[in-house]
Amino acid sequence: MSIAAVVLAAGGSTRLGRPKQLIVFNGETLVERVIRIAAEAGLTPIIAVVVAYPELANRLQTDQKCTTIFCLRQPTEGISHSIKLGIVQARRYYAAGAILLTCDQVAVTPEHLQALCAEPDAPCGSAYAGRIGVPAYFPGSSFDALMVLDGDTGARELLRGARSVPNEALSLDIDTEEDFCKAQASFEG
């Protein structure tokens, strides 16, 4: 039974002011880092939904662990469009479920991803900062619901009442230069 990783990395990084997908953290871009962690967790296929930055495209095209989808969405479509692109691809690979994750949560670990899909028939999110969010696991039975999401709200509503795996460190995501400095101080080396 394969569990897909759907890396959602097609955002505009407006608060950061530069593409967070290209930030180098411990010698690898944030996208390459999360792909490596997903591979270490045993997730397959790994599907990266990314913005078509030439530098990122060149780096990911040589990554044999990953299928890359370039998101050419309209800004009004939001993250739901990226989720749909990833789930379509997961279905093509006959994945039994999928973990949705972003590239900017540097505290994510292979063990955390494995814990999310420990009960393969039920959705499971990550608990931090008083909420349940990504990374989040959705069984194949949730794929239809993911395909009708709309806008920039993501799949949070589908996680209401779901099991969760706590990890407060995931509350630090890289949205600003200050966040990046905090991440470097906390997690590098």
Give the model's pLDDT for residue 73. Answer: 60
What is the overall mean pLDDT for the chain? 87
Which residue did the predictor score with more confidence, 101 or 13? 101
pLDDT tens digits for range 54-95 = 666 666 666 667 888 877 765 557 789 899 999 999 999 999
Bridge partners, residue 101, by sequence: 7
Query: In the predicted model, what is the mean pLDDT of residues 93-111?
Result: 95
How far is residue 173 from each of residues 30, 66, 168, 170, 180, measured CA to CA in Å? 11, 22, 11, 7, 8
pLDDT tens digits for range 6-47 = 999 887 766 667 777 778 888 888 899 999 999 999 999 999
Give the residue extent of every domain in the chain.
3-187
Query: At the top level of CATH, which class does the domain 3-187 belong to?
Result: alpha beta
How far is residue 58 from each of residues 30, 32, 63, 66, 179, measured CA to CA in Å? 15, 12, 9, 13, 27
Q: What's the whole-model pTM score?
A: 0.90
Give the model's pLDDT for residue 71. Answer: 77
